[in-house]
Amino acid sequence: MFETCVLWAVRAIMEAEAQVKAPFEMLSTVPAGSSLYCILPAASQKFYTQLVVGIEEGDLPLLFPREPDEKVRKDAIGEIANVISGLFIADDHFISRFGYLKPSTPFFSEGAFTARKDWGLKGRIESNGKGMDLQFFIRDLRDPAALASDESDNAAMNRKGSPD
């Protein structure tokens, strides 16, 4: 299901073909690796999720060869994240398991994404000859063990709870 959401969103926004380069797999630690991340959180009182689109910043012109404006290219990556997250967290199967989550606004981080130790999905797609790493993780906010693992991360958070 997640892979279907990813491919549909990328094809629709980029108006280009996309294919899976590394199959989506479940993992317990979502890894870091790209130079630019578009991060889209969503949450309820019970669950917190993040969808992460990782790209190499130098690949933006090649991912969007018909778009000369760098800001518009980044906005397009943010829109891809919005569509993927919206499709996935609005799926009936997802809602039946995790309930309704309220999405936030996507934001960008240049090489500063911190890998989390949560249940997640990871895969890689390619479009216009360049790759994008997709990661989605979910945390049960009612699980004290999951919350305790964040204590070391709190130093890197500002007062509003988002990365510095």
Domains of the chain (ranges; CATH) run: 2-144 (3.40.1550.10)
Count other Cβ atoms within 10 Å, centred on residue 41.
19
Q: How far is CA 105 from the centre of its chain?
A: 12
Residues 82-141: tens digit of each pLDDT: 999 999 999 999 999 999 999 999 998 876 556 566 788 888 888 888 888 888 988 888
Residues 4-61: tens digit of each pLDDT: 888 888 888 888 888 888 888 887 665 667 788 899 999 999 999 999 998 888 888 8
Return the closest-CA partner of residue 7 out of 128, 127, 137, 135.
127
Q: How far apart are CA 7 and CA 9, in angstroms?
A: 6
